[in-house]
Amino acid sequence: MRVAALQMVSTDVLAENLAQAGQLLSQAAVQGAELAVLPEYFCLIGHHDSDKLAIQESFGAGPIQTFLAEQARSLGLWIVAGTLPLSIDPSSPTDRVFNSSLVFNPQGQCVARYDKIHLFRFDNGAESYDESRVLSAGSLPTQFALPARDGHVWQIGLSVCYDLRFAELYRAYAANGVDLILVPSAFTFTTGQAHWEILLRARAIENLSYVAAAAQGGTHPSGRTTWGQSLVIDPWGQILAEQAQGAGVVIADLDPAHLATCRSQLPALQHRLL
């Protein structure tokens, strides 16, 4: 199965971001991708945390979700929509939202939803972030099945950005038979430089799973700089494709036979005791 991790440098203008996402999705489809993954906050990185509240949508309705469904249908793609802000109360906007990753099949149907469980907080004196100011945490791991053209039904586990630091989430996915982990992200430059690649490769190695991580990568209008380095990694921890900075499409082919070989040669998942 060919997977595309789409790297973006999202702005504070929704229409610009949807246009950029549309271009990258088209490029992924032209290059033969079956699954395209957008980064966290693909639809908006504003000047303030609260900016995302103005574009929140009720689950199942809204211009962002309509755009995603139309793109999936017109391009014949499975699309994992990084994250978008979904209202906690479907009847009215609120001052706190879920940071949600939605999965659309090639018929344009939303078939899975994951609300980011772990909310990022970081303060080194020079830069400070606290997602809990405007986000509510999800509580449920989510996976979905993707019947690919290669004949394999890929079991795919969803996660977002800061979740990457919590190995127990991915171990639970491995126990449930997941063989591809998705990590759409907007890592800061500081934390990304220190930890991004090593954590992604660790999650692949310890769970003998493919990992695809679509990232924000560049300097945004707010002045924030995200790390980038969108990656696709194989179950042995080898990087199959990557891009350092800037918008682009990171493409790699996932091989179910290679996955089976890695798990057969090193059956670590069968040796768990705790």
Task: Assign residue 183 the CATH number of its domain.
Answer: 3.60.110.10
Q: Are 240 and 233 in contact (CB under 8 A)?
A: yes
Contacts for 238 with CB less than 8 Å, ≥ 6 apart = none
pTM of the model: 0.97
Residue 56 CA to residue 136 CA, distance in Å, equals 13
Q: How many domains does the chain fold into?
A: 1
Residue-wise pLDDT tens digits, 259-273: 999 999 999 999 999
List active site positions: 40, 116, 161
Gap between the Cα atoms of 94 and 263, Å rounded: 46
Ordered per-residue pLDDT tens for the chain, 274 residues: 999 999 999 999 999 999 999 999 999 999 999 999 999 999 999 999 999 999 999 999 999 999 999 999 999 999 999 999 999 988 778 899 999 999 999 999 999 999 999 999 999 999 999 999 999 999 999 999 999 999 999 999 999 999 999 999 999 999 999 999 999 999 999 999 999 999 999 999 999 999 999 999 999 999 999 999 999 999 999 999 999 999 999 999 999 999 999 999 999 999 999 8
What is the pLDDT at residue 234? 98
Domain that holds residue 224: 2-271
pLDDT in tens, 222-244: 999 999 999 999 999 999 999 99
CB 249 within 8 A of CB 4: yes
All residues at 6 or more sequence positions from 263 whose CB lies less than 8 Å from its CB, including other chains: 208, 235, 269
Nearest by Cα to 254 from 53, 54, 33, 101: 33
